[in-house]
Amino acid sequence: MKDAREARSAAVVINTGSRRGAAAHELALDAMRGAGVPVTSVHPVHSGAELAGALDQVMADGHDLVVVGGGDGTVSYAAGRVAGTDVVLGVLPLGTANDLARTLEIPNNLAEACAVIAHGKVVDIDLGRANGQPFLNVASVGLSVGVTEALSPRLKRYIGPLAYGIATLRAYARHKAFRARLEFPEGDHEPMELEHLLQVAVGNGQHYGGGNMVSPTAGIDDHTLDIYAIPLAPLREHVSIARLLKDGSFVEHDKVYHLTSRRVRLVTEPPLSVNLDGEIATTTPADFTIQRNAVHVVVPQGSTSALLDGPGAA
């Protein structure tokens, strides 16, 4: 399928627990059906267990378009389920950050996002994996895990992306430094031993954390992972780094380590939880890989974020 209008049958899976999921459910269905999307199956879900079951069902039913509404964690999980198949993923950004939608140039407005599902083009994007678990934007350890733990659903629902700033301050105040070893199985870099760290992140996409950029050159269709590490430092250093997060130029700061690779193994002392697109899903040691052009997804006709060039593209 090269165009969303070629879909024979569409299933809609909406996480009603996401920030806008409950309110958007009926509106999204009406908008898509009104635009001609052949919706034949609808699955509202309230938990991760229900999401897994719903996706298993729609895959077994043979739909060629699966529209998923929710936050980045919900969409990443769905992407992992459809990866490597011919099933096309449609995205309704109903979460707090909606960084994948930002990367793919999908509008945050619900009606406009539904119009993209109906009239957009199909591209294929890379999928990151950490110990086999999928992520589309960024996987990380350290401060970001503390931020995720400090983000309550109530806080996200009432103040939206501003919740990330409040949660970051809370997490920063109680962060404990850690050590890390980065190993590169493909031999493109020498192993790195790093101490007194604030955070290590592995980026697949372009945006994360409510609009921050992984790096100025990062892309979700470039078949590489962007890896960066930020050491613990005086507050003024972290403030200077934070000011550069929006455009990704923080990776050029002299206190930040940054490189790219297709595979990296992260070992930490102590072992740490790993945050995958806002969900704590695995622990270190962690092996990060890139699954090239693994997910077919609908984007606006004018989007330049990715191409449809097949799984063998280098």
pLDDT of residue 123 exceeding 70: yes
Pull the structure tokens for residue 275.
């945050």
pLDDT at 154 over 80: no
Cβ atoms of 127 and 134 closer than 8 Å: yes
Same domain (yes/no): 49, 159:
no
Contact 222, 126 (CB under 8 A): yes
71 and 192 share one domain: no
On whether both 70 and 185 belong to a single domain, the answer is no
Alpha carbon distance 260, 112 (integer Å): 34
- What's the half-sphere exposure (Cβ side, CA atoms, 13 Å) at 90? 35
In-domain check, residue 306: no
pLDDT tens digits for range 232-250: 999 889 889 989 999 999 9
Question: Which run of H or E residues covers position 56?
Answer: helix 48-60
CATH number, domain of 46, equals: 3.40.50.10330
Q: How many CB atoms lie within 10 A of CB 8?
A: 11
Residue-wise pLDDT for 75-101, tens only, equals 999 999 999 999 999 999 998 889 999
Mean pLDDT confidence for 1-14? 87
Residue range 197-207: mean pLDDT, rounded = 97
Query: What pLDDT, on a 0 to 100 scale, did the predictor assign at position 313?
Result: 44
Together in a domain, 160 and 267: yes
**How many domains are contained in the chain?**
2
Do the domain assignments include residue 305? no
pLDDT the model gives residue 19: 67
86 domain residue, yes or no = yes
Are 254 and 158 within one domain? yes
Enclosing H/E stretch for 280 = strand 279-283
Count of CA atoms in the C-beta half-sphere (13 A) of 307: 8
Is 297 in contact with 88 (CB distance < 8 Å)?
yes
pTM assigned to the model: 0.92
Residue 106 lies in a domain: yes
Q: Does 210 fall in a domain?
A: yes
Lowest mean pLDDT among 64-68, 74-78, 125-129, 150-154: 150-154
Whether residue 310 is contained in a domain is answered as no
Range of the domain at 142: 133-291
CATH label of the domain that carries residue 255 = 2.60.200.40
Give the burial class of 75: count Cβ atoms within 10 A of its Cβ; 0-12 exposed, 13-18 middle, 19 or more buried.
buried
SS3 sequence of 2-40: CEHHHCCCEEEEEECCCCCHHHHHHHHHHHHHHCCCCEE
Tell me, yes or no, whether 260 lies in a domain.
yes
Asked if 185 and 251 sit in the same domain, the reply is yes
Residues 138 and 286 in one domain: yes
Q: How far apart are CA 61 and CA 198, in angstroms?
A: 45
Q: Average pLDDT of 98-124?
A: 95
Residues 141, 121 within the same domain = no
